[in-house]
Amino acid sequence: MEHEPLLMIPGPVPVPQRVRAAMTQQAINHRGPEFGAAYADTVRILKTLFGTENELYIISGSGTAGMEAGVANFARDRSIVSLVNGKFGDRFAKIGERYGSSVTVLESDWGTPLDLEGLERELEAGAEVVTMVHNETSAGIKNPAPEVGKLARKHDALFIMDGVTSIGGDDVQMDRWGVDIAVVGSQKCLAAPAGLAAIAVGERAWDRIAEKRPFYQDMAAYRKSGSKAAMETPYTPAVPLFLALHEACKMIEEEGVPARIARHRRMADAVRAAAKGWGVDLFPELDAHHAYSNTATAMRIPDGVTDQALRGTVKKFGIEIAGGQDHLKGKIFRIGTMGSVGAQEILATAAAVQYALQK
């Protein structure tokens, strides 16, 4: 019997049938009321996940496009401090360098706490922008957004936050935490197909928008098109993906945001409990003051098992889990519990991993 693949990686994640169906409807005019209403309603629901009343726009492109839009529009040629404790923190630094910003990288080992003392020093010395990844998917940890937001505000710096794998799966309070720009990707906790990013931008950031901006991802152009009576995007958007994301957001609203976050917590806790049962160490082992990711769990590959054998055996059951990235390749494996994942998927994955580890 043919089974659908079960993606238990940290995105893309399985897309519910209702959401897939929304993508297959006949083309609609992207400069018309039907599209405008779907866009506006998607924005309304996304704002509840971002914890914001700021303006929010949707960009055709993956999460990285959203990160790049944030840096290229609001941090170009400025001094940036990039907090790095994993792959995606480093990506922000690379984008900043590409746009001519002077980037100070405060690097901690992957999965270890961020250097907040260093951040305060850099802010005192006049840094204008802070970048941070809320949920560092490469290391399975959550970074302290409220503390970073407080420091950034104290020193009047902009705070750009990657919420690509936290928004929709963990509590995010953009406005309360003092985040000026936040980004999410459609294929992660929102359980929509890959290909869209949403970016929310606060007033402090609009006040400092760069004069020299990218053409395709010009946020001032997004603002102008978005302010029309029927919301639009500056250029033709990926309409089928917008319609799918709208359906995914309706499902999120039906579930309720607190219930959804609690479900993500239960699923991540279940994977960590299973790891204990398998005798596998979490990566990293955190003390009570630091937080594990609510949406992806990283674990060390035990001695005597190879990454290839572990993931290869699990895949024979139609289930895909993720390996480590960059220098953690072959050392850790990761299980994503994002989007629509529930107990049934966790049970199947746990059984397959246990079998693979005992083999």
Per CB under 6 A, residues contacting ligand PLP are 10-11, 62-64, 88, 133, 135, 137, 162, 164-165, 185
Least distance in angstroms from the C-beta of 224 to ligand PLP: 25
Bridge partners for 151 per DSSP: none
Least distance in angstroms from the C-beta of 256 to ligand PLP: 24
Question: Can you spell out the DSSP letters for 115-181?
Answer: -HHHHHHHHHTT--EEEEESEETTTTEE--HHHHHHHHHHTT-EEEEE-TTTBTTB---HHHHT-SE
Nearest to 337 by CA among 84, 166, 88, 139: 166
Least distance in angstroms from the C-beta of 339 to ligand PLP: 13
Q: Rounded to whole angstroms, how far apart are CA atoms 64 and 345?
A: 28
- Secondary structure letter of residue 327 according to DSSP: G
Q: Rounded to whole angstroms, how far apart are CA atoms 214 and 198?
A: 17
Q: Do residues 42 and 197 touch, judged by C-beta distance below 8 A?
A: no
Pairing of strands 55-60, 102-107: unpaired
Q: With respect to ligand PLP, which residue has the nearer C-beta, 62 or 337?
A: 62
Strands, sheet with 296-300, edge to edge from the N-terminal-most edge strand: 296-300, 332-336, 322-323
Least distance in angstroms from the C-beta of 131 to ligand PLP: 11
Q: With respect to ligand PLP, which residue has the nearer C-beta, 242 or 356?
A: 242
Q: With respect to ligand PLP, which residue has the nearer C-beta, 274 or 322?
A: 322
Position of minimal CB gap to ligand PLP: 63
Least distance in angstroms from the C-beta of 36 to ligand PLP: 25
Least distance in angstroms from the C-beta of 338 to ligand PLP: 10
Q: Rounded to whole angstroms, how far apart are CA atoms 313 and 20?
A: 29
Least distance in angstroms from the C-beta of 71 to ligand PLP: 12
| Secondary element (H or E) of residue 258 | helix 257-278
Pairing of strands 6-7, 129-133: unpaired
Q: With respect to ligand PLP, which residue has the nearer C-beta, 123 or 268?
A: 268
- Whose tokens are 């009047």? That residue is 156
Q: With respect to ligand PLP, which residue has the nearer C-beta, 164 or 321?
A: 164
Q: With respect to ligand PLP, which residue has the nearer C-beta, 15 or 123?
A: 15
Q: Is the peptide bond before 16 cis (omega within 30 degrees of 0)?
A: no
Q: With respect to ligand PLP, which residue has the nearer C-beta, 8 or 123?
A: 8
**263 Cβ contact list (under 8 Å, min separation 6):** 255, 342
Burial bucket for residue 12 (CB in 10 Å: 0-12, 13-18, 19+) = buried
Least distance in angstroms from the C-beta of 65 to ligand PLP: 7
Q: With respect to ligand PLP, which residue has the nearer C-beta, 47 or 142?
A: 142
Q: With respect to ligand PLP, which residue has the nearer C-beta, 64 or 104?
A: 64
Cα of 50 vs its chain's centroid, Å: 11
Q: Do residues 278 and 353 touch, judged by C-beta distance below 8 A?
A: yes
Least distance in angstroms from the C-beta of 124 to ligand PLP: 28
